[in-house]
C-alpha cells in the first residue's frame, strides 16, 4: 500500500512551502494555503520512518467535517477540499500559541498532577483528584508553538505579558475555545464518545480571528468511549481511548520515548497495516460515516491535478 510521506509540488502562484510534522503547506500568492495532509505519523515529537496509508485522508476528512460543523461559532480558514488529502483555505497570520482545552485530568495534566503540581498554566487544580476524573468545568492550558522540539506550557498572564496575543484577542480565543469544545463534546456524545481534551489554533486575517489548521482529529484530540467510562473510573481502570495513544504505547513498549540515543523500533508491514486500519476505525467511530478509501494509485499525480484545477477558480 502506497503512503505519501513527502510532497514537493510546484503549484501556480506558489510562493513557498512548509513541511511540518504531518502537513505540507503551500503558500499561494500570499493569499491562500494549500494544506496537503500526508501519511506521515509523529509521536513524542519525532516523525516515524514509515507512513501510514489512508492516514492523511482520514485526518483531512475528519477536520473538514468539524470545520463545517463549527463554522457558526467562529469563522475558519477552509475554502474547499478538492482532494481527499487536501484542504485549501485563507492564509492567516497564526497566533504563536496553541489553545489546549481539557475536560478531564488525563495525559500530560495527570502526569503533572501526580508529580505534585496543583496548578497548570496558571490554572489552579482541585485537591484529591484521580486520573481520568472530569473537571468541574473545562480548563484552558495553552502551550507555545515550537518550530522544533516540544511545545511548552504557558499561562494566560505570560501570553499577554510577552505580547504573544493582545488581551482583547486572548479573551476572544478563550471564548471560541470553550464554545468549540462544547460543540465537540456534544457531537462526540452522539457517537458514544467523550471528547477528553483537544487543541485549537487560531490566526488573523484582515483584523479578524479565524480558526485554522485541523480540529477534533485523533491526532489533535483524545477521545474516551462513553460506554463503561464511569465503571472503569470507579474501579481505577484505564479508559478505552480513541486516539493515537496506541502508537505511543507501542513505541514505549519497544523502548522508545523520543529521548536522545533511543532508536525507533522497526515498523513492520503488519504493524503499519494495523495502524492504518485503526485510523479508518477512528474515522468511522468519530464521524458516524463509512470511510470511502480513495485510490492509492498515483496519489501525487491526482493531488496535483485536483489542486491545480481548483486554484484556477480562485
pLDDT tens sequence across 303-314:
999 999 999 999
User: Which residues are registered as beta bridge partners of 78?
Assistant: 89
- Asked if 219 contacts 23 with a C-beta cutoff of 8 angstroms, the reply is no
Tell me what the pLDDT averaged over the chain comes to: 95
pLDDT at 226: 97
pLDDT for res 145: 84
**CATH fourth-level superfamily of 94-242:** ATP-grasp fold, B domain (3.30.470.20)
Any idea which of 73-82, 108-117, 214-223 has the lowest mean pLDDT?
A: 214-223
Q: What pLDDT is recorded for position 195?
A: 97
**Domain 14-92+266-311 bears CATH identifier 3.90.650.10:** no
Residue range 94-110: mean pLDDT, rounded: 96
3-state secondary structure the chain: CCCCCCCCCCCCCEEEEEECCCEEEEEECCCEEEEEECCCCEECCEECCCCCCCHHHHHHHHHHHHHHHCCCCCCECEEEEEECCEEEEECCEECCEEEEEEEECCCHHHHHHHCCCCEECCEECCCCCCCCCEEEEEEECCEECCCCCCCCECCHHHHHHCCCCCHHHHHHHHHHHHHHHHHHHHHHHHCCEEEEEEEEEEEEECCEEEEECCCCCCCCEEEEECCCHHHHHHCCCCCCEECCHHHHHHHHHCCCCCCCCCCCCCCCHHHHHHHHHHHHHHHHHHHCCCCCCCCCCCHHHHHHHHHHHHHCCC
Domain ranges of the chain: 14-92+266-311, 94-242
Q: What is the pLDDT of residues 236-247, one digit of tens each?
A: 999 998 877 789
| Percent share of the chain, pLDDT over 70 | 98
User: In this model, does residue 257 exceed pLDDT 80?
Assistant: yes
pLDDT at position 151 = 80
Give 22-47 pLDDT, tens digit per residue: 999 999 999 999 999 999 998 888 89
Rounded to an integer, the average pLDDT of 122-146 is 96
Residue 160 above 70 pLDDT?
A: yes
224-235 pLDDT tens trace: 999 999 999 999
pLDDT confidence of residue 147: 66
According to the model, what pLDDT value does residue 4 have?
A: 95
Three-state SS letters, 109-158:
HHHHHHCCCCEECCEECCCCCCCCCEEEEEEECCEECCCCCCCCECCHHH
Percent of the chain whose predicted confidence (pLDDT) is above 90? 89
pLDDT in the model for residue 149: 61
Residue 2 reports pLDDT greater than 90? no
Above 80 in pLDDT, residue 268?
A: yes
Amino acid at each position: 500500500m502506497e503512503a505519501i510521506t513527502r510532497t514537493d509540488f510546484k503549484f501556480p502562484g506558489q510562493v513557498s512551502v512548509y513541511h511540518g510534522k504531518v502537513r505540507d503547506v503551500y503558500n499561494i500568492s500570499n493569499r491562500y494555503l494549500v494544506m496537503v495532509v500526508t501519511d506521515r505519523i509523529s509521536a513524542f515529537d519525532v516523525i516515524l520512518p514509515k507512513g501510514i496509508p489512508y492516514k492523511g485522508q482520514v485526518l483531512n476528512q475528519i477536520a473538514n467535517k468539524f470545520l463545517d460543523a463549527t463554522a457558526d461559532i467562529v469563522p475558519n480558514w477552509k475554502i474547499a477540499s478538492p482532494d481527499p488529502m487536501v484542504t485549501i483555505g485563507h492564509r492567516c497570520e497564526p497566533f504563536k500559541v496553541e489553545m489546549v482545552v481539557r475536560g478531564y485530568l488525563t495525559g500530560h495534566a495527570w502526569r503533572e498532577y501526580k508529580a505534585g503540581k496543583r496548578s497548570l498554566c496558571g490554572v489552579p487544580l482541585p485537591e484529591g483528584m484521580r486520573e481520568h476524573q472530569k473537571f468541574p468545568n473545562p480548563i484552558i492550558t495553552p502551550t507555545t508553538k515550537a518550530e522544533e522540539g516540544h511545545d511548552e506550557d504557558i499561562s494566560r498572564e505570560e501570553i499577554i505579558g510577552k505580547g504573544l496575543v493582545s488581551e482583547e484577542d486572548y479573551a476572544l480565543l478563550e471564548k471560541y475555545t470553550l464554545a468549540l469544545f462544547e460543540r465537540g463534546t456534544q457531537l462526540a456524545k452522539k457517537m458514544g464518545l467523550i471528547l477528553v481534551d483537544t487543541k485549537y489554533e487560531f490566526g488573523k486575517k484582515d483584523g479578524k480571528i479565524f480558526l485554522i489548521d485541523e480540529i477534533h482529529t485523533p491526532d489533535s484530540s483524545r477521545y474516551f468511549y462513553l460506554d463503561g467510562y464511569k465503571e472503569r473510573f470507579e474501579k481505577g481502570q484505564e479508559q478505552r481511548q480513541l486516539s493515537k495513544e496506541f502508537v505511543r504505547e507501542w513505541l514505549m513498549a519497544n523502548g522508545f520515548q523520543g529521548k536522545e540515543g533511543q532508536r525507533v523500533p522497526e515498523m513492520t508491514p503488519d504493524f503499519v497495516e494495523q495502524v492504518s486500519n485503526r485510523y479508518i476505525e477512528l474515522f468511522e467511530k468519530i464521524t458516524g460515516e463509512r470511510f470511502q478509501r480513495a485510490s492509492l494509485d498515483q496519489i501525487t499525480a491526482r493531488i496535483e491535478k485536483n489542486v491545480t484545477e481548483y486554484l484556477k477558480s480562485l
